[in-house]
Amino acid sequence: MAVITMREALNQALSEEMERDGRVILMGEEVAEYQGAYKVSSGLLQKFGAKRVLDTPISESGFAGLGVGAAMQGLRPVVEFMTWSFSMVAYDQIVNNAGAIRYMSGGQYSIPIVFRGSSGAGLQVGATHSHTPENWYANVPAMTVITPAFPDDAKGLLKSAIRSNNPVCFIENEKLYGFKGEVPEGDVLTTIGQARICREGSQVTLIANSASTHVALASAEQLAADGISAEVVDLRTIKPLDIPTILASVVKTSRVVIVEENKPFAGWGAQVAYEIQHRAFDSLDAPIERVTGLDVPQPYARVLEQAVMPSAERVTEAAKKTLG
Amino acid sequence: MASSGAKKVRSKEKPGNSPAMLPTLTPSERVDLLRKMVLIRRFEQKAAQAFMQAKIRGFCHLYIGQEAVAVGSISTLHPTDAVITAYRDHGHALARGMSSRECMAELFGKITGCSRGKGGSMHFFSKEKHFHGGHGIVGGQTPLAAGIAFAQKYNGTGEVTVCYLGDGAVNQGAFHEALNLAALWKLPVIYVIENNEYSMGTHQSRSSAGYPLVKRADGYDMAGITANGNDVDDVREKMWDAVQLARTESLPSLVEIKTYRYRGHSMSDPGNYRTKEEIAERKKESEPISMFKERLYKEKVLTEKEYEEIERQAVAEAEDAIAFAEASAEPEVATVFEDIHAPEDQIAEFRPPIGS
């Protein structure tokens, strides 16, 4: 199996789906001639031409809405936000138009659109550029929210997202674009809405997504060194949540730490904690712990930002707390 | 009419009966325009009554006074061209050929409504009639229109999109972003500002800098066109130029149509920001239905008796719509979980059942 980076995996997904379906188009800032701000769309302009790979002006509300209108009319746009932090100026288009037109019209329209792009903190770009907005978009009833942590999932889930007949927020993490992993060749889809156990363990479950999955895996190593067996659940999809996989792990370990990069208030981890206590209350041997980004705007200075980010050390400490 | 500083339309002059010429309507087609305007007026009056009786709830923005805009402009389109508008959408829906029954039933929140009772007054839709809403956020529909036009051009269908907005929407960022994209990518879309002078209760002189509003086309190097929205013939003529520009040259335009609404912003608006005299004066000088009716009398294509029959039919249709809406069933509560997601057909369904 080929070992490629996350960005190459995403590029393959886009290329294969555009090859397969002439209704799929890609638009966004710098996606064409610049070859992508993060090089995810590298080579696609040359392969598919300017009709299907479109550089947009810096105009997120305009081009996100344009994508929704094109989807209403039968195209299958992939709209790239250079970072999801910029999606806030397109919030109305994503929430009210992509998110509600099917419902408001009594089911007359399908909105097959993928909004995708980079997200996340930790690279010292300050408060405006560091958001992980999966919990914001997961609050939109119609929305599917996907946050891959590994290259194979990135490819397989993006292919599935493009084939979905419904709006998808596909939230990548900038820290992972260079992450390498094995990716199967060819047309392999990953099912949306299924979590993956990426490390088996028996004493505590670490539930994470995206870059936080790698924080959880690092913590599991630390815990193993201390003789504690941790299971790591990578949610992969935030909405819909894979509740059966979560519950199976909780039943097995009886202890839970949730790891999420976003801010704590109404973060997706709060929802996961609710689901666990509601459905597996008797299985819990300790209160559920959450390790999140701290509840402050993202600071610039490295020492400050590192204190704000979830770290393996904080996860390890939380895991030990659940073990008494 | 205010003169426009904007670039004039660049329609190509073509001789004879070429498609670029505004088709001359037959007398009966002209009477049909009047019929549609009268129907909208009577439909809206019945809706207002039903609102006062609390049979219609929420917001209800009436189109009374602006009928010539929707009827005149939509009469220049092909049935497969796209129409999209803001929340004052009843008139456009009826002008597009949606039935009075499905529209009134939507206002009543009934399952027989055009959006199955899920949209309400501001969110009428009919994909079948290429009426793409009914949008509640001011200016939010303008990028959608660019996208619909993008898809029309991408697919080479030769269709065009008409997007209505109010004068209050011209200061929204989404509108400017949409104009820029439409001009940059040469999309076959016509943005129609229905300038009724008031954004809710704020007169345009207190909300917009830069007149006439059509000048906003200049900044994007788009054709700017103005029309008298009280005169259905003028609306048709000016819209025709814009539609031809979109259809034959794939160029967008901005059309500012001066109009006036006789009722409040919505049914909840007491209208204290303008005088009764102002409204009476406007009605007296330029009421669109009377103006057109008188013209048809002069042209000898309509008699007073025939007009009375048009009125009678319009009232009957509006009353029938009310009766239909009242007799229709409420949506089953279980339908609240329907219409959220389209069925998947290229991947397996991946969502757990509702309530699991």
Would the CB atoms of B347 and A163 count as touching at under 8 Å?
yes
Distance in Å, alpha carbon of B207 to nearest chain A alpha carbon: 22
Residue of A nearest to B122 (CA): A104
Q: What average pLDDT is seen over chain A?
A: 98
Same domain, A119 and A265: no
**Residues of chain B with C-beta less than 8 angstroms from the C-beta of A51:** 154
Q: What is the CATH number of the domain that holds A99?
A: 3.40.50.970
In a domain, B348, yes or no: no
Q: Quick check: is A60 catalytic?
A: yes
Report chain A residues whose CB lies below 8 A from the CB of B146. 62, 65-66, 69
User: Any CB–CB contact under 8 A between B349 and chain A?
Assistant: no
End-to-end CA distance of chain A: 42
Nearest by CB: B340 against A51, A142, A193: A142
Does a structural domain hold residue B341? no
Q: Are residues A176 and A201 in the same domain?
A: no
* Domain presence at residue A260: yes
Tell whether A87 lies on the interface with B, counting CB pairs under 8 A.
no
User: Quick check: B119 contacting A, CB < 8 Å?
Assistant: yes
Is A97 in Cβ contact with B144 (below 8 Å)? yes
Average of pLDDT values for A132-141? 97
Residue A25: domain span: 2-183
Sequential pLDDT tens for chain B (356 residues): 344 445 555 444 444 444 578 999 999 999 999 999 999 999 999 999 999 999 999 999 999 999 999 999 999 999 999 999 999 999 999 999 999 999 999 999 999 999 999 999 999 999 999 999 999 999 999 999 999 999 999 999 999 999 999 999 999 999 999 999 999 999 999 999 999 999 999 999 999 999 999 999 999 999 999 999 999 999 999 999 999 999 999 999 999 999 999 999 998 898 999 999 999 999 999 999 999 999 999 999 999 999 999 999 999 999 999 999 999 999 999 999 999 999 999 999 999 887 66
Quote the number of domains for chain A.
2
Residue A90 has pLDDT above 80, yes or no: yes
- By the CB < 8 Å criterion, does A139 face chain B? no
Q: What is the CA radius of gyration of chain B?
A: 20
Q: Is B160 on the interface with A (CB under 8 A)?
A: no
Check whether residue A160 and residue A308 sit in a common domain: no
Give B350's contacts in chain A (Cβ within 8 Å).
Answer: 160, 191-194, 240
Length of chain B, please?
Answer: 356
Q: Are strands B202-203 and B198-199 parallel, antiparallel or unpaired?
A: antiparallel
Instruction: Give helix B141-155 / helix A60-72 axis angle, nearest 10°.
Output: 50
Instruction: Give the C-alpha distances (Å, rounded to integers) separating B280 from A164, A170, A178, B129, B260.
Output: 54, 55, 69, 36, 11
Nearest to A165 among B135, B173, B343 (CB): B343
Instruction: Supply the range of the domain harboring residue B125.
Output: 27-329
A168/B contact by beta carbon, under 8 A? no
Chain A residues 302-321 within an 8 A CB cutoff of chain B: none
Choose one of A183, A213, A235: the last residue of a domain.
A183
Whether residues A10 and A59 fall in one domain: yes
Say whether A73 and B339 touch across the interface (CB within 8 A).
no
A213 and A178 housed in the same domain: no
Per-residue pLDDT averaged across A56-61, rounded? Answer: 98
Closest CA–CA distance from residue A115 to any residue of chain B (Å): 15
pLDDT per residue as tens digits for the range A146-198: 999 999 999 999 999 999 999 999 999 999 999 999 999 889 999 999 999 99
Catalytic residue among A129, A231, A261, A305: A129
8 Å CB contact of B125 and A108: yes
**Does residue A141 register a pLDDT over 70?**
yes
Strand partners, A68: none
> Taking CB atoms and an 8 Å limit, are A89 and B173 in contact across chains?
yes
Establish if B137 touches chain A: CB-CB under 8 angstroms.
yes
pLDDT of residue B14: 42
Q: Does the residue A88 lie in any domain?
A: yes
Chain A interface disruption, residue of B130, B163, B191, B346, most A CBs within 10 A? B346
List of E strands, chain B: 82-84, 161-166, 189-195, 198-199, 202-203, 223-228, 253-258
| pLDDT (mean) for A133-138 | 97
Residue A188 lies in a domain: no
Q: How high is the pLDDT of residue B20? A: 73
Contact check, Cβ <8 Å, A66/B348 = no
Task: Judge whether B189 lies within some domain.
Answer: yes
Question: What residues 173-192 of chain A have any CB closer than 8 A to a CB of chain B?
Answer: 189, 191-192
* Cβ pair B135, B84 in contact under 8 A: yes
- Which residue, among A29, A56, A66, A166, would best test binding to B if mutated, counting the most B CBs under 10 Å from its CB? A66
- A163 to chain B, any CB pair closer than 8 A? The answer is yes
Q: Is A264:A290 a contact under the CB 8 Å cutoff?
A: yes
Both A43 and A127 in one domain: the answer is: yes
Q: Using the beta-carbon criterion (under 8 Å), do A106 and B150 form an inter-chain contact? A: no
Residue B345 forms part of a structural domain: no
One domain, residues A34 and A178: yes
Residue A242, H or E segment: none
Alpha carbon dihedral A309, A311, A316, A319, in 10-degree steps, equals: 30
Average the pLDDT over A106-125 and give the result: 97
Task: Tell if the CB–CB gap between A106 and B126 is shorter than 8 Å.
Answer: no
How far is Cα B90 from Cα B318, in angstroms, rounded to an integer? 13
A131 in active site = no
How many domains does chain B divide into?
1
Domain termination site, one of A127, A155, A183 = A183
Reading the block at residue B350, the tokens are 């991946």
Show residues of chain A in contact with B349, CB under 8 Å. none
| B53 CA: distance to closest CA in chain A (Å) | 25
Q: Phi-psi category of B105—alpha, beta or left, where left has phi over 0 and alpha has psi -120 to 50? A: alpha
How far is it, in rounded angstroms, from Cα A247 to Cα A240?
15
Residue A287 belongs to domain with CATH number: 3.40.50.920
Question: How many CB atoms lie under 10 A from the CB of residue A55?
Answer: 15
State the DSSP code for A66: H
Residue B343 forms part of a structural domain: no
Interface contact A264, partner B, CB < 8 A? no
Q: Report yes or no on B336 lying in a domain.
A: no
Is B335 inside a domain boundary? no
Chain A contacts of B82, Cβ < 8 Å? 73
Count of A-B CB contacts under 8 Å: 175
The closest CB to that of A72, out of B113, B148, B344, belongs to B148
Separation in Å, CA of A108 to nearest CA in chain B: 6
Is B334 in the A-facing interface, judged by CB distances under 8 Å? no
CATH number, domain at B173?
3.40.50.970
Domain edge (last residue) among A183, A212, A228: A183
Q: Which amino acid is at A288?
A: I
Give chain B's end-to-end CA distance (angstroms, integer): 61
Q: Does any domain span residue A171?
A: yes
| B137 with A70: Cβ contact below 8 A | no
Residue window 55-84, chain B: list those with CB within 8 Å of chain A: 82
Same domain (yes/no): A94, A208: no
> In this structure, is residue B342 part of a structural domain?
no
With CB atoms and an 8 Å threshold, state whether A62 touches B178: yes
Burial of A231: CB neighbours in 10 Å, binned 0-12, 13-18, 19+: buried
The C-alpha of A173 sits at a distance from chain B's nearest C-alpha, in angstroms, of 23
Of residues A8, A16, A29, A60, which has the active-site annotation? A60
Q: Quick one: pLDDT at residue B19?
A: 55
Closest by Cβ to B143, choosing from A93, A108, A109: A93
